Amino acid sequence: MRPAKRITSTDVAREAGVSRTTVSFVLNGRPGQSIPEATRRRVLEAAERLDYRPHASARALAAGRSDVVLLSLSDLPVGTSVTRFVEQFAAALARDGLALVTHLAAASGRSLPDVCAAVDAVAVVALTPFDAEAAAALYRAGAEVVLGAGADVSAPQRYIGSLQAGHLAARGHQRVGYALPGQRAPERMAAERLRGVAEGCADAGLAAPVALRVGLDIASAARAVAGWTRESVTGVCAYNDETAIAVLAGMREHGLAAPAGLAVIGVDDIPVARLAAPALTTVAFDLGEAGRDLAEAVVAGLAGEDPRLPSLSSRPHVIERSST
């Protein structure tokens, strides 16, 4: 069956018995036009009956710019906290008539400026800073606003690591391990969290953490657990909750259970963290507020104001459960 053709403003005009110009004035809310209320209502009812949706390019032409905001997530894993951020960011943008498109460089294989031009983005946002060359390329691609949030992404990550180490040190652990993530994780973020763990250990008078890589498979986790056992490690800080749950699985291969065998603390407070065996202690943070603040910065930039970039630190805090 051949799909129905796209409904156009011409169809709406024919259905309502008015001109296309009148349809444009009504549907785009053009100011300074004296459209009788009965005519306006007739156009809106015709558009609803026909299930009319304005084409993006036509809407952009009428408004003088597009309504698309492009978010680059190329340097971040799309975990629970980032998902919450994206949801809040999209909802806040929608309240100002803006639509969110996300870009994952590894998945798309296309450069950010190429995608910016393809979707006609009016603004481009990332959670890490853009250098001058990258920003210039995005402006040339048509963006009016280019924002690289979180000017210092290192400090919040180090703080997360220091919270993990401090939690274990407060429970008497004298030798701490660190579970680096698998191969496809963002190395910079993992390194900064490890640096924070090292700083937390130093503040507590402990030796540097024993860092071992843990993939999301039992064999890799079991090897890491064996390595920590040889080094007399009693508590492990994991890069994130997925990695921490892998550590718990590796421990079971050696007949160990947390916290007696090894205490384990993760990051993110993903929904399954409380369902792990045992329930996983973790560092939680809420990026929802940051998403709303970033949407306000985008809107301010589009209005010609100097946007105030939000902090993405989001006040991390430890949620203590049975694994420590």
Contact 323, 265 (CB under 8 A): yes
Residues facing residue 267 across a β-bridge: 283
Nearest to 280 by CA among 253, 243, 254: 243
Contact 129, 148 (CB under 8 A): yes
Q: Do domains 68-148+288-313 and 154-284 have the same CATH topology?
A: yes
What Rg do the C-alpha atoms of the chain give, in angstroms? Answer: 26
The CATH homologous superfamily for domain 68-148+288-313 is Response regulator (3.40.50.2300)
Output the pLDDT for position 187: 76
**Whether residue 259 has a cis bond before it, omega within 30° of 0:** yes
Output the pLDDT for position 242: 93
Q: Is 165 helix (H, G, I), strand (E, B) or coil?
A: helix
* Domain segments of the chain as ranges: 9-63, 68-148+288-313, 154-284
Name 214's Cβ contacts closer than 8 Å, sequence gap at least 6: 179, 180, 181, 182, 220, 221, 224, 238, 243, 246, 247, 250
Distance CA 209, CA 173 (A): 11
Nearest to 250 by CA among 224, 277, 231: 224
Over its length of 324 residues, how does the chain's per-residue pLDDT go in tens digits?
344 566 777 888 888 888 888 887 787 665 556 788 888 889 888 888 887 766 555 555 454 557 899 998 865 556 666 777 888 889 999 988 898 998 876 566 678 888 888 888 899 998 778 888 999 999 888 888 998 865 455 678 899 999 999 999 999 999 999 999 986 666 778 899 999 999 999 999 999 999 999 999 999 999 999 999 999 999 999 999 999 999 999 999 999 999 999 999 999 898 899 999 999 999 987 777 778 888 999 999 888 888 777 665 567 899 999 999
Report how many helices (DSSP H) and strands (DSSP E) the chain contains, helices first: 13, 10
Output the pLDDT for position 5: 64
Which CATH number is 154-284 given?
Answer: 3.40.50.2300
DSSP 191-228: HHHHHHHHHHHHHTTPPPPEEEE--SSHHHHHHHHHHH
Distance CA 102, CA 76 (A): 12
Output the pLDDT for position 163: 96
Look up the CATH architecture of domain 9-63.
Answer: Orthogonal Bundle (1.10)
Output the pLDDT for position 3: 46
Element (H, E) at 235: strand 235-238
* CB neighbour class for 278 (10 Å; exposed up to 12, middle 13-18, buried from 19): middle
